[in-house]
Chains A and B, each alone.
Chain A
Amino acid sequence: MNNRSAPAHFWRWFDPRHHQPGTWAFILNRVTALGLTLYLALHLVALSQLAMGPQAYDNFIVLAKTPVIKVGEMLVIAAGLIHGLNGIRIALSSFGIGVRNQKQIFAGLMAVAAIGIFIFAFSIFGGA
């Protein structure tokens, strides 16, 4: 697998013929990783408003309560739950735990992620 050329590797991600549960887990892990990296960068840049004093930060918080940012936050939470819970499976398997039952563990963890995403969606959009 590692001696393929870079473009062949890249397009392989979008090839549905390889999509077994392991491939889905891999794609989800990668896509959420890139999304969370983007979030980390935005988060660090946005919090520089704190250094500029109370007025700058409180203005930023007003912006953060707009619907577009809330949808973005929802994506971050979904990505974090999927990446974090799938990561538990990867960490366990690194130490030889649950290696044979990974499909079931993956399905169970993704069910937990779905419930978590639903709860957060309700608290962000459903509540006050």
Chain B
Amino acid sequence: MIGESSKPKLREGVWLWLLKIIGGLLVFVVLGIHFVINHLVAPGGLLSYQDVINYYKVPIVPIMEIGFLIFVVSHCFLGLRSILLDLNPSDRFLNWIDGILLVGGIGACIYGAWLIILLTSRGA
């Protein structure tokens, strides 16, 4: 760990590892923007239904939030997979883990995107 550089795990592969690292950095940046908008630009924060609907009227917001959703969910599920890899699962069990994480991750993204599109359409 400390003293050596971070590397992909044995069964993680370079691309998933790179996606996890870059996804993490994107989450950091977008979370910063999210905080600034929610707490500095909107006075007092988005603390009512109407505030949220008005927030989604700004055209860039739904796009940014859908991107944010995808980065966070993918980083989260790749991270869970890394933790589960440390428990040294069998190949068969890893296949199950991959299937569950893939369905769960895509499901969370579809649900979140549906919610964002619904709120945007209510403001339009």
Contacts and interface: CB of A to CB of B under 8 A. Distances in A.
B90 to A, nearest CB: 10
Interface residues of A, number: 43
B72 interface: yes
B88 A4 contact: yes
A22 B49 contact: no
Interface residues of B, number: 36
Interface in A1-47: 2-6, 9-10, 20-23, 25-26, 30, 33-34, 36-37, 40, 44, 47
Residues of B contacting A: mostly: helix
A36 B76 contact: yes
A60 B1 CA distance: 42
Contact of B3 (A22, A36, A91): A22
Q: Chain A interface secondary structure, helix, strand, loop or mixed?
A: helix
A51 interface: yes
B94 interface: no
Contacts of A115: none
A103 B17 CA distance: 23
Contacts of B4: 93, 99
Contact of A21 (B2, B5, B7, B76): B2
A33 B115 contact: no
Contacts of A94: 5-7, 17, 21
Contacts of B25: 87-88, 91
A57 B52 CA distance: 10
Given A6-B88, A33-B79, A48-B115, 6 more contacts: A22-B3, A25-B1, A50-B119, A51-B118, A93-B4, A93-B5
